[in-house]
Amino acid sequence: MVMYTHQFGPRSGGLTVLVADRLIYPVWERGGALGDLWVKAEVEIVSNSPFQILIMAAIRDFDYGGIAVDSIMLSPECRLSSENSTLEKLPNPPKHPCIDDPEKMCDFHPDCADAEDETQCGDFSYAEGSSGWTDTSIGSQGWILYKNSTTKAEYFYVAEAAGQQLTEAQTRTPLLGPTGPACNLSFDFALTGSLDHIGELSVRVIDSLLGLRPKLWEYSGKTGAEEEEEAAWHHADILLGVRKNRFQVKFHYLLLNLF
């Protein structure tokens, strides 16, 4: 299924596509505000039985913006089914947040049992840390989470996306902070491939009051050859320091002649 989505302004929350055959399960999601533009989305649906498609969106209690969907197209092979499918069971409702105050989420202080309010904030040292990142790419490149269920290895990589503009692959954390002077961001990165110009990776902060801040860090060029995978990983430490306002950390990557 191909569709175009418009997710604009602080009012826009998240958009999810679900498939209902014998169960209901999500097959695609996109969160956050992407700007005042239509962004193409490609949703892959694989099902052995007749199914229905559900589109679910949430808006926040703010003044402007919203979510819209247009130009939905299904593959030519799709056929209308006369069968009635029945759900075997309904999905479990989401857990109630352990605290009501959103300011206490991802503020680096555990407020809930098992620090549940701090576990999905982008910090990979938590089991669910990697799920704290939201891909906000609008163009032909996006960030994808790689997960190896055997080795438990997880990392993000940039791959081809459905968008039509040549714009940066972007991924961001939820709102974090405030922070103290010792606040540091550390990560490993690798830029490899057969192209001479492998592109540029950078880190920026989006301040909740001041908006997008200048680059804190950047790297251009290869970190190593593709065949020596281990050696290609480099380590970076970036001082985030004191930040009084809540903020998001954002990774940008741009390759001009990709694919």
The least distance separating Ca ion from the CB of residue 123, rounded to whole angstroms, comes to: 12
Handedness of CA 148, 56, 38, 64 (dihedral sign): negative
**Main-chain phi, psi angles of 257, to 5 degrees:** -115, 45
The residues binding Ca ion (CB under 5 A) are: 104, 107, 109, 111, 117
Contacts of 230 (CB under 8 A, 6+ apart): none
Contact 139, 167 (CB under 8 A): yes
Q: Which amino acid is at 219?
A: Y
Complex with Ca ion: residue 111 or 123, whichever CB lies closer: 111
Q: Which amino acid is at 213?
A: R
Give the separation between CA 242 and CA 251, rounded to whole angstroms: 20
Complex with Ca ion: residue 35 or 97, whichever CB lies closer: 97
Complex with Ca ion: residue 108 or 155, whichever CB lies closer: 108
Q: What is the dihedral of CA 115, 106, 30, 97, to 10 degrees?
A: 50
Complex with Ca ion: residue 74 or 127, whichever CB lies closer: 127
Complex with Ca ion: residue 29 or 111, whichever CB lies closer: 111
The least distance separating Ca ion from the CB of residue 124, rounded to whole angstroms, comes to: 18
The least distance separating Ca ion from the CB of residue 129, rounded to whole angstroms, comes to: 14
Complex with Ca ion: residue 35 or 102, whichever CB lies closer: 102
Q: Which amino acid is at 46?
A: V
Give the separation between CA 251 and CA 205, rounded to whole angstroms: 9
Q: Which among 24, 257, 249, 48 has a CA at the least distance from the CA of 132? A: 249
Contacts of 84 (CB under 8 A, 6+ apart): none
The least distance separating Ca ion from the CB of residue 209, rounded to whole angstroms, comes to: 20
Complex with Ca ion: residue 104 or 222, whichever CB lies closer: 104
The least distance separating Ca ion from the CB of residue 58, rounded to whole angstroms, comes to: 22
Q: Which among 10, 69, 9, 17 has a CA at the least distance from the CA of 39? A: 69
The least distance separating Ca ion from the CB of residue 95, rounded to whole angstroms, comes to: 16
The least distance separating Ca ion from the CB of residue 105, rounded to whole angstroms, comes to: 6
> What are the structure tokens assigned to 129, written together?
């840390």
Contact 244, 188 (CB under 8 A): no
